[in-house]
Amino acid sequence: MALQEDLRTQGDFLFRYRSYLPLGLVVVGLCVKVYQERFNGPASEGLISESLEAIALAVGLIGLAVRVVTIGFAPKDTSGRNTGAGQVAAVLNRTGAYSVCRNPLYVGNYLMWLAITLIAGNIWFVALFSLAFWIYYERIIYAEERFLRVKFGAAYLQWAETTPMFFPDLSRYEAPATRFDWRKVLRQEKNGFFVLMLLICVFSLAGDAAEGQLSVAEECATVSAALFAALVYVLLKFLKARTTILDTA
């Protein structure tokens, strides 16, 4: 198989399962967190540990915000969580977040997953994650851009020529062409906030357990945040399944 076809095949596969395959990161990250706390515990306790968790939370929320802004202003039938249907794009997104970066959703993904690797507390793990993320999403982006190039032709090539692939160029910002759709955001991004809060809580508790000092009371803030996120998730899940409140006209 030619390299281009091989990359496209890999990209299509990874695109289809992009919501599940990165979960392996959680398993590896927990192992790193447990190792760090068990063998390097004294160096990561107290103020350093709390600061790291605060930084990780901030990075994760910034990543979620990037996704929220991107999806909220994206036209209908674009920037979706479609997996089984494969690539879908009714129009070519070129305004809003897409005016400064061709893949703003993946920038958001990177920041959210980066938050989890930061909590693990190992710089080498952060570096290896960043490398793996680049290799992983490079193939997905290749498959997506091939699809967009075929569908939109010269319009896509003109946009791609002047818009960075991943690292945003804020000087190129152009106001969104559509109104912000909060219903679409709540439908599609209900998972993100819940998963972020849950994983931060799990990693914090795992670190305490590895040190032999597991205490839910000491992790009251992270546990409360995770429970709140879970309640929000269940509520939005109910509204989506049983009502029309989150339906877009």
- As a whole-number percent, the residues of the chain with pLDDT over 70 amount to 79
Specify if 145 maps to a domain. yes
Query: Residue 83: pLDDT above 50?
Result: no
CA terminus-to-terminus distance, the chain: 45
Specify if 248 maps to a domain. no
Please give the Cα distance from 86 to 107 (Å, whole number): 20
Specify if 48 maps to a domain. yes
Specify if 123 maps to a domain. yes
87/101: higher pLDDT: 101
Instruction: Give the number of other CB atoms < 10 A from CB of residue 10.
Output: 16
**Structural domain range at position 158:** 3-242
**3-class secondary-structure state, position 246:** coil
Specify if 130 maps to a domain. yes
Global pTM reads 0.84
Q: Which of 56-60, 86-90, 183-187 has the lowest mean pLDDT?
A: 86-90
Please give the Cα distance from 102 to 83 (Å, whole number): 19
Specify if 249 maps to a domain. no
Number of independent structural domains in the chain: 1
Specify if 79 maps to a domain. yes
Mean pLDDT of 199-227: 80
Residue 42: pLDDT band with limits 50, 70, 90: very low
Closest CA relative to residue 215, chosen from 204, 228, 225? 204
**Tens digits of residue pLDDT in 161-211:** 999 999 999 999 989 888 898 988 988 888 889 999 999 888 888 887 777
Residue 37: pLDDT band with limits 50, 70, 90: confident
Q: What is the CATH number of the domain that holds 190?
A: 1.20.120
Specify if 142 maps to a domain. yes
Please give the Cα distance from 132 to 157 (Å, whole number): 27
**Tens digits of residue pLDDT in 101-111:** 999 999 999 99
78 neighbors 93 (Cβ within 8 angstroms): yes
Extract the runs of DSSP E, i.e. beta strands, from 24-104.
Answer: none
